[in-house]
Structure 1
């Protein structure tokens, strides 16, 4: 016959609290394992693309002024690391500045559209119309306004990153369930508490979804600005390589741009997972 201490331990181990504790302990391990598997698959997919690309170049053997393989592109990166690193830093600064501006303005504008019917009536159609304009056409305007320096490229990146955050913020705030709205009304919550404790909390996942789109677009926006009036940055590297028919340098810049956009995307995604833990609670 088991002693009272043993029976007590067994009861504690079989209690619902212990079961919950066990799930809470195992869940981070399972999430870590899933993250590792997902990361391994992503790396395998990227490596597979490079392998197929190099095989096609090797088999078809096109002229070097038409297409080069990833081996040539990576050889160019290894041969001139300082050149690509300095220009990458310029583009990264412009993209991050544009993303930060676009995020701030996009969230504020999306909130204004949600909370003011007057603003929504006047501003929403105008935003849709502006969004249809190719951003390459807007780049010269920013250069006229802000000159040929850092600011013009950052504002081009901001203009491209701005719109996904406006739409996602507005949609997130507009999709708060009626039950939560009714709960706030019953408890006589002020507009400020309703906005900060319910609506924006509920909209955060949508805002992060928009941010994941915007961060990649901001990198492209910085490059667009460098295309129009750049003397440094990866966009300038691509233009210079194009003028010299230097495809290894051009494809090396493409690879670096893709790596930057991918890294920034995963950083924003990771931040979203940490700041919005309830989104993945059921997974």
Structure 2
């Protein structure tokens, strides 16, 4: 049986008295864009470093492109593209110099795709790295991760410093990479970034996985949002009596609430309150993410 590009089973990494990760299990299939979510310090980067052999796990099993990254030759890492969360590049070199150096290290002779990436992202290649802004350095890092068309693309906070148009182009590149058969593990604390491109998402909290499912299934568990405005004073009391409703904000003439389940019972009560306007937002992972982090952790799994 062929091993998936990324496999972690009960992966634990301890740093003495400092918390690392505990019992992390992940499976990322070929051609999948897998989102790995959590706030800074939750354990995302530690997990990634174990997957790439940069950290030796305290316990558990890990396979990257079918191999144990902690043993044997690291030649298979030529098939991995990695953008670290804290990108460090040779400050005195230009972008063109960096691309040429990394290309030689990987034995990559085809520069056509690299040049296409440079053009699409608007990378400045003729200035020393030290003179570039955070966003322009990040674009150099994205090109370095993608330019050799890796089988596995590992991205840690990839859009940091990018403007919205560049973020859109990056999302397109990720989708194209997966459509061509590549696999993407995208780690971020930015929910919008992940849910735009990922088909499956795992959420890590304090070193433990608290959710792992398709974006569709996770969104189904997340509540919808409704914003109501009135031309008269109103009491939100009747809404709080319905199961599945949480009133987030309530003023004399404005109510914001979330709800799970069918909309009909909610709308029946809302209609009696006679709102002047109603705005509904579909379920979003952001609300589910907050709920998972507000709830007490459950050892080894989901809340």
TM-score of the superposed pair, with normalisation by structure 2: 0.18
Structure of higher CA gyration radius: 1
TM-score of the superposed pair, with normalisation by structure 1: 0.19
Structure in which a larger fraction of residues adopt helix = 1
